[in-house]
């Protein structure tokens, strides 16, 4: 990632901490110039900064992206603790399952018939891997995560605790007397380098595939419906919901509690701000930033919000005008 040292090059640091908790032996970072004031008050021994002035007199390493450099450094200092390779005698692994070299299957994990597990995979205690599931190299299936029959997980993915991949899509049809279930016969396909947060659910397709594109990161408590396609490097934040057959473009961002109706389209690089909602079959153009329910361009939403704040005043003025015109206005 590179970088340029500003200050003594022989400085020795022992740890990594946030600005407010760092000591003289810790490295910290300044994400942007707005936090330069906090840097001045910090006791950190050195800082990762975008510009030397942001260091507020501290020794520094000047890099193009301080937050990314900080994440890289944390990974160097605190690499994941890989469990010992091998299958625990207290795991339940079907004899027809194929387990790759260097893979760890913990006590209490279940791997069903025909599953194919790649090399250096971690399947933690209580995790469930269903029939004919495929999991790529270097993927982590955390404790009590569930991968149901036929689903495919790529390489270097993380499926966190409580996540359910491949539950039935919410498909029912009214037959005149009751809601009749539509069999959900497809799968979920998760491409490489995808992270899936705790207690997130991704439904299998009715037919075909529900797809999560390469590099996408999904937060905790997210619902992805059947036959949804999420593009590459998208961000889906906590408690967001995506209804069936919607399309989410690459590098799109769904902020917390954003909702997308069924058969909607969210364009590449667009952003749905927190609690915004896209209606059924709605369309968010590429690169747009939308807010509110129904979602509208963010600037328009801010104008509407400002007007709503003025409604009591406007109502009083209207009542005054009505009384002046004919005495018909009522007190408000």
Number of residues that make up the chain: 332
The residues near 309 (Cβ < 8 Å, ≥ 6 apart) are: none
Q: What gap in Å lies between CA 82 and CA 191, rounded to an integer?
A: 22
Helix (H, G, I), strand (E, B) or coil at 310: helix
Q: What is the pLDDT of residues 284-332, one digit of tens each?
A: 999 999 999 999 999 898 888 888 888 888 889 888 998 888 765 555 5
Torsion of CA 36, 41, 42, 48, to 10 degrees: 20
Q: What is the pLDDT of residues 236-285, one digit of tens each?
A: 999 999 999 999 999 999 999 999 999 999 999 999 999 999 999 999 99
Q: What is the pLDDT of residues 62-106, one digit of tens each?
A: 999 998 888 888 888 888 888 999 999 999 999 999 999 999 999
Q: What is the value of pTM for the model shown?
A: 0.89
Q: Is 298:285 a contact under the CB 8 Å cutoff?
A: no
Q: Is 174:192 a contact under the CB 8 Å cutoff?
A: no
Long-range residue pairs from 129-135, CB within 8 A, at least 24 positions apart, any chain: 129/97, 130/166
Largest CA distance in the chain: 89
117's tokens: 């597990």
Task: Kindly list the catalytic residues.
Answer: 226
Q: Is 282:303 a contact under the CB 8 Å cutoff?
A: no
pLDDT of residue 203: 98
Q: What gap in Å lies between CA 57 and CA 40, rounded to an integer?
A: 7
Cβ neighbours, 10 Å, residue 310: 10
Q: What is the pLDDT of residues 108-158, one digit of tens each?
A: 999 999 999 999 999 999 999 999 999 999 999 999 999 999 999 999 999
């Amino acid at each position: 990632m590179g970088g340029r040292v500003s200050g003594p090059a022989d400085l020795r640091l022992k740890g990594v901490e946030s600005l407010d908790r760092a000591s003289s032996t810790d490295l910290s970072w300044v994400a942007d110039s707005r936090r330069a004031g906090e840097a001045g008050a910090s006791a950190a021994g050195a800082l990762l900064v975008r510009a030397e002035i942001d260091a507020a007199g501290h020794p520094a390493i000047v890099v193009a992206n301080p937050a990314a450099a900080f994440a890289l450094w944390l990974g160097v200092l605190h690499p994941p603790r890989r469990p010992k390779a091998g299958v625990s005698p207290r795991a339940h692994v079907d004899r027809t399952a194929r387990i790759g070299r260097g893979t760890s299957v913990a006590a209490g994990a279940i791997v069903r018939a025909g599953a194919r597990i790649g090399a250096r995979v971690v399947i933690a205690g209580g995790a469930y891997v269903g029939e004919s599931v495929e999991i790529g190299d270097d993927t982590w299936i955390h404790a009590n995560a569930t991968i149901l029959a036929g689903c495919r997980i790529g390489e270097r993915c993380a499926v966190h605790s409580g996540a359910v991949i491949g539950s039935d899509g919410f498909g029912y049809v009214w037959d005149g007397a009751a809601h009749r279930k539509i069999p959900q016969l497809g799968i979920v396909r998760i491409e490489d380098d995808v992270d899936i947060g705790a207690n997130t659910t991704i439904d299998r397709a009715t037919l075909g595939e529900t797809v999560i594109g390469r590099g996408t990161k999904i937060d905790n408590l997210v619902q992805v419906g059947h036959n949804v396609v999420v593009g590459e490097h998208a961000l889906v934040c906590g408690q967001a919901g995506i209804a069936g057959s919607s399309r989410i473009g690459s590098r799109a961002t769904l902020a917390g509690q954003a909702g997308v109706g069924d058969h909607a389209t969210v364009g590449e690089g667009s952003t749905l701000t927190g609690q915004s909602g896209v209606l059924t079959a709605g369309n968010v153009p590429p690169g747009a930033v939308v807010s509110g329910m129904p979602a509208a361009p963010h600037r328009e939403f801010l104008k509407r919000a400002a007007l709503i704040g003025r409604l009591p005043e406007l109502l009083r003025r209207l009542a005054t005008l009505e009384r002046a015109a004919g005495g018909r206005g009522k007190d408000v």
